[in-house]
Amino acid sequence: MSGQSPEGSAYLVLTKATASTPGNDIGPRSLRMYSSVCVRYLIEAGGDENEVTDTPAMAGYLQLTEFDWQYQTQPPPDGAYCQAMIGHRCNWPRGKVMGGSSVLNAMVYVRGNRRDYDYWQAQGNPGWSFDDVLPYFTKSEDNRNPSTVQLAISESRDATTAPAEPPPTTMKS
């Protein structure tokens, strides 16, 4: 956060302390580096995750269930998208469960758009430019697969991948 102190500022961080997708706790981690800032957590809506929500392959089956807020897009004025949907409204899955939308998107982690972070800084939020938060993203990312081609995502790391050799799984009978 460029060493700029946010003293005198109040922060409400909407996250879960052990969120399931890497990077979900960027805000709290960044703010904890300032001794004058007390970070509070507001637990996400919805129930606990279970065996189904913890299985990425099941993500498609969780949409339009109690784990989903069941939002829909507004009909486009020009009819350019959602043409096959009733009322030209697409489903917009958002997680209503501990861990948030990662249960609906197969636990895929994607960094936010650089322009959004830079815009937040330009609106008077020092330390929130993309370059300022990038070190916190890279701390949350951990590529352990040596055969993965290194992409120009950051100076030192690729996106998060599973370990090269997954840990043994204990089968229940």
pLDDT confidence of residue 166: 57
pLDDT confidence of residue 103: 86
The better pLDDT of the pair 83, 18 is held by 83
CA dist 111 and 133 (Å) reads 10
CA dist 75 and 87 (Å) reads 7
Task: Supply the mean pLDDT for the chain.
Answer: 72
Q: Which domains does the chain have, with CATH numbers?
A: 48-107 (4.10.450), 109-158 (no CATH)
Q: What is the DSSP letter of 57?
A: G
Q: Which residues contact 26 (CB under 8 A, 6 or more apart)?
A: 133, 136, 137, 140
CA dist 47 and 167 (Å) reads 28
The vertex-158 CA angle with 153 and 160, nearest 5°, equals: 120
